[in-house]
């Protein structure tokens, strides 16, 4: 038997052993680091838990403190949420649960956006209280009624016509019983038709640039003069 033949047999033998050992070790490597499906679970404390608690609170499941501490109360709220959304109610937020929570959070943000904008508009309107009434004015140096509304909405990149009667043609017609913060209210005053406009701020009140008062003021809708001359309301903030 020559050396070449002996070396060939040894090489085949060694390759066979290496292949056998590789078959044994691959499963061990795979099992050593299995992928985890759990993102949040009881005992954790971080900013993601804060977000989880916030969403569960907004959806009406969680009533505890939003402190980022995943305790029993958070777990129970999550289990109730999972059960009602046809998820495995294991009280741990895995990928599937987090996906559903994220979709609800996005939808909730969209639903709340018009309300947040209305509050921002109302806040700016109130900051401009007592600014002098100036015929034809549309700046913080002085406003007339439609100039006041035009300025506020333009500030938030919501374009309206300049005049009250033109503004009355924009948006949706709203019944008085349906008024919400941020809606526009119109009156027939010195001219027939919509010749005066104000911003409804809730509580049956509106804010407007009043020529009679000589400045921007808040007035009840039930005030005799405005009650008698009220002609309608428009909603120009989309999404309500």
The residues carrying an active-site annotation are: 145, 196, 208
- Identify whether the C-beta of residue 213 lies closer than 8 Å to the C-beta of residue 220: no
The CA-atom distances, in angstroms, between 238 and each of 15, 115, 116 are: 73, 10, 12
Residue 197 dihedral angles phi and psi, to the nearest 5°: -135, 145
Within 10 A of 107 (CB to CB), how many other CB atoms are there? 10
The CA-atom distances, in angstroms, between 84 and each of 2, 36, 78, 153, 191 are: 78, 24, 10, 41, 57
Which pair of structure tokens corresponds to residue 235? 């909603």
Distance of alpha carbon 112 from alpha carbon 108, whole angstroms: 6
What is the torsional sign of CA 178, 184, 189, 194?
A: negative
- Identify whether the C-beta of residue 138 lies closer than 8 Å to the C-beta of residue 151: yes
Distance of alpha carbon 121 from alpha carbon 155, whole angstroms: 9
Of 175, 200, 176, 196, nearest in space to 187 by CA: 196
């Amino acid at each position: 038997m020559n050396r070449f033949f002996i070396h060939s047999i040894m090489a085949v033998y060694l390759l066979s052993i290496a292949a056998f050992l590789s078959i044994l070790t691959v499963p061990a490597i795979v099992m050593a680091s299995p992928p985890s499906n759990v993102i949040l679970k009881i005992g954790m404390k971080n900013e993601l838990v804060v977000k989880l608690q916030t969403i569960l609170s907004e959806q009406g499941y969680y009533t505890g403190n939003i402190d980022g501490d995943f305790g029993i109360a958070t777990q129970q709220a999550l289990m109730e949420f999972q059960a009602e959304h046809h998820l495995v109610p294991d009280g741990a937020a895995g990928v599937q649960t987090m996906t559903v929570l994220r979709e609800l959070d996005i939808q909730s943000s969209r639903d709340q956006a018009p309300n947040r904008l209305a509050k921002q508009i109302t806040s700016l309107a109130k900051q401009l209280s007592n600014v002098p009434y100036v015929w034809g004015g549309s700046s913080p140096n002085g406003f007339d009624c439609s100039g006041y509304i035009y300025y506020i909405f333009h500030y938030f990149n919501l374009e309206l016509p300049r005049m009250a009667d033109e503004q009355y043609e924009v948006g949706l017609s709203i019944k008085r019983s349906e008024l919400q913060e941020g809606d526009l209210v119109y009156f027939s005053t010195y001219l027939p038709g919509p010749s005066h406009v104000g911003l409804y701020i809730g509580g049956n009140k509106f804010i407007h640039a009043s020529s009679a008062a000589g400045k921007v003021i808040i007035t009840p809708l039930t005030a005799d003069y405005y009650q008698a001359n009220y002609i309608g309301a428009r909603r120009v903030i989309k999404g309500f």
